[in-house]
C-alpha cells in the first residue's frame, strides 16, 4: 500500500493525526471511513433553485467529508435547473457526485432533510435545512420557527447546506453534545444580526442582480467554492458570467478532499483548465491566467474589476494594494484541527489597505512543530522532511469553504441591491452566534458589472417515466 503523504493525504482526516487520535495517516482515513450520512429529499425540495443548490452542496461537501459514504433517499424524480447541472436528472447527478441512491432505509444514519420531513420516526440526528430570502438555518425536524423555503436565493440554500453538513460532522465526531438538537442560522443581508437574525428587517430584498464578471484569484479550496456558488445562481442562459481564473498549480490527490469542482480524472492537470472546462460546459466564458498573483499584477481594460481572493499567502495579500481592482473580497480560513471552521473576511476598499492588515514581517512562515505522532512517523519512515511537510498542511473541508463563499458573494451582491458592505467579518462555524465584524458602510467604489437574475419560476420538471 502506498503511504499517504502531503500531496495525497485527505485534508479533513488529517485532523485525527494532528490531534494525536491515531498513529498514522492510514489509520486516520480508516477512522473517517466509519462516518456516514443520509440526505432525505421530501416533497417540494426542488421547487426552487435554492433547494436544488442546497441539495447539491450538501451532497458534494458531504461525500468529501463522510468517507463511509453518503446515501440519498426518496424524491429524486426531478430535472435540475441550476446552471452547472441544468437539464440533468437529480438521480444521475447524485450518483455522479458519489452518493448511493437508496429506495429504503434499513439503518439509522444521521440525516439531513430538504423539503417535507419524512413520515417515519426520525433518527436520533435529523436536521431540517431551511432558507428564506437572504436568511438560512438548520433546525431539528419538527422544530418551530422554520423558514419558508419559498423565496429563491441560492446563496441561502448553500449556506443552509454548509451548516447542515457541519452539524452532522460534529455529531459523528462527538465534537458538540448539542449538535442536531439546536437551531442555528444567520442572515446574509446583515451577518452581524445575531439574536434577531430571523426578523424581517434582515431578510433582504428579492434576488434581482448578479455579478456579470469576476476575477477569481486562487483556485484551491476557496476559489473552487466561489466558482461552485456562482454555478448555482439564477443566471439566464444568454447571460452567464465571464470569469478570469488565476492559478499556477496542478491538481493533487489531497485537493479532491477540499475542491468542489475537481475529481480523480483531473489529477495532475492544471486547476485553471479543469475548472474552465466545467464552467464553459455550463455556458460561462473564461479567461485563464496561469501564473502566481504578485506585485506585477495589473487589471487591464475590459477585464473584471471585482475580484474574489482565495490565496492563503500573506505576501500575495499585501500585493492587493497595487493590483488596481475596484473591489476585492478576500477570505481566509483557520488551518488547525481546532480552528479549521473559522472564517475571516475582508472587503476592499476599506478603512485599511491590505499592506496595513498584513505586515511584511508576518509573511515569514513558522516551521511547524511536530507532535509526538509525527515525530514517531518520521522516525519509523526515515522521512523527517516528508512528515514535516505533511504536518504543515492545513486541515480543510469544503463545507467550510461553501459557507465562506456565500459570505464573500454576499459582499459583492449586497451593494447591487442597495445594501451595505462589511470591511471585516469573523465567523466561527462551530458556534455561529460568536460572529463579529466592522460596522457596515455604504460601498464607495466602482460598481460591479451586473446582469439581471432570471426571474422565471423553476418548473421542478420531473423525469420522463
Catalytic machinery residues: 385
Q: Can you give the C-alpha Rg of the chain in angstroms? A: 21
Least Cα distance to 227 among 328, 308, 150 occurs for 308
Least Cα distance to 262 among 29, 64, 409 occurs for 64
Q: Helices 49-62 and 398-413: crossing angle, nearest 10°?
A: 150
Q: Phi, psi (5° rounding) for residue 335?
A: -125, -10
Strand partners, 345: 331, 425
Give SS3 for 157. Answer: helix
Q: 10 Å Cβ neighbour count for 319?
A: 20
Burial (CB count <10 Å: 0-12, 13-18, 19+), residue 302:
exposed
C-alpha cell read off for 117: 420531513
Cβ neighbours for 366, distance < 8 A, ≥ 6 positions apart: none
Q: What gap in Å lies between CA 129 and CA 422, rounded to an integer?
A: 26
For residues 49 and 154, the answer to whether their CB atoms sit within 8 Å is yes
Amino acid at each position: 500500500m502506498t503511504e499517504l503523504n502531503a500531496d495525497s493525504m485527505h485534508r479533513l482526516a488529517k485532523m485525527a493525526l494532528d490531534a494525536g487520535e491515531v498513529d498514522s495517516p492510514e489509520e486516520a482515513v480508516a477512522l473517517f471511513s466509519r462516518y456516514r450520512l443520509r440526505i432525505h429529499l421530501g416533497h417540494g425540495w426542488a421547487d426552487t433553485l435554492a433547494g436544488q443548490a442546497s441539495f447539491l452542496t450538501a451532497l458534494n461537501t458531504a461525500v468529501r467529508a463522510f468517507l463511509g459514504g453518503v446515501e440519498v433517499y426518496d424524491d429524486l424524480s426531478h430535472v435540475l435547473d441550476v446552471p452547472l447541472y441544468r437539464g440533468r436528472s437529480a438521480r444521475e447527478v447524485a450518483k455522479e457526485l458519489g452518493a448511493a441512491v437508496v429506495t429504503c432505509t434499513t439503518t439509522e444514519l444521521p440525516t439531513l432533510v430538504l423539503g417535507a420531513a419524512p413520515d417515519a420516526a426520525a433518527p436520533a440526528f435529523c436536521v431540517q435545512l431551511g432558507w428564506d430570502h437572504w436568511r438560512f438555518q438548520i433546525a431539528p425536524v419538527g422544530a418551530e420557527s422554520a423558514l419558508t423555503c419559498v423565496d429563491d436565493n441560492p446563496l441561502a440554500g448553500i449556506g443552509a447546506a454548509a451548516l447542515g453538513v457541519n452539524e452532522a460532522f460534529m455529531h459523528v465526531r462527538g465534537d458538540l453534545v448539542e449538535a442536531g438538537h439546536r437551531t442555528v442560522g444567520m442572515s446574509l443581508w446583515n451577518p452581524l444580526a445575531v439574536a434577531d437574525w430571523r426578523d424581517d428587517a434582515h431578510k433582504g430584498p428579492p434576488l434581482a442582480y448578479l455579478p456579470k464578471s469576476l476575477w477569481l484569484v486562487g483556485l484551491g479550496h476557496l476559489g473552487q467554492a466561489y466558482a461552485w456558488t456562482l454555478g448555482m445562481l439564477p443566471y439566464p442562459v444568454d447571460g452567464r458570467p465571464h470569469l478570469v481564473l488565476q492559478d499556477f498549480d496542478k491538481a493533487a490527490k489531497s485537493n479532491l478532499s477540499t475542491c468542489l469542482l475537481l475529481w480523480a480524472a483531473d489529477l495532475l492537470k492544471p486547476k485553471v483548465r479543469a475548472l474552465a472546462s466545467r464552467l464553459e460546459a455550463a455556458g460561462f466564458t473564461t479567461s485563464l491566467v496561469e501564473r502566481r498573483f504578485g506585485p506585477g499584477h495589473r487589471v487591464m481594460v475590459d477585464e473584471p474589476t471585482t475580484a474574489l481572493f482565495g490565496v492563503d499567502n500573506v505576501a500575495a495579500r499585501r500585493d492587493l494594494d497595487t493590483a488596481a481592482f475596484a473591489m476585492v473580497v478576500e477570505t481566509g480560513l483557520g488551518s488547525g484541527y481546532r480552528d479549521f471552521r473559522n472564517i475571516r473576511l475582508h472587503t476592499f476598499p476599506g478603512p485599511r489597505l491590505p499592506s496595513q492588515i498584513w505586515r511584511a514581517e508576518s509573511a515569514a512562515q513558522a516551521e511547524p512543530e511536530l507532535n509526538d505522532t509525527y515525530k514517531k512517523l518520521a522516525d519509523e519512515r526515515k522521512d523527517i522532511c516528508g512528515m514535516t511537510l505533511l504536518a504543515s498542511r492545513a486541515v480543510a473541508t469544503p463545507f467550510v469553504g461553501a459557507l465562506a463563499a456565500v459570505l464573500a458573494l454576499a459582499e459583492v451582491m449586497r451593494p447591487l441591491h442597495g445594501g451595505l458592505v462589511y470591511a471585516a467579518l469573523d465567523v466561527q462555524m462551530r458556534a455561529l452566534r460568536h460572529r463579529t465584524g466592522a460596522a457596515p458602510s455604504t460601498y464607495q467604489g466602482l460598481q460591479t458589472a451586473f446582469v439581471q437574475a432570471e426571474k422565471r419560476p423553476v418548473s421542478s420538471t420531473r423525469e420522463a417515466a
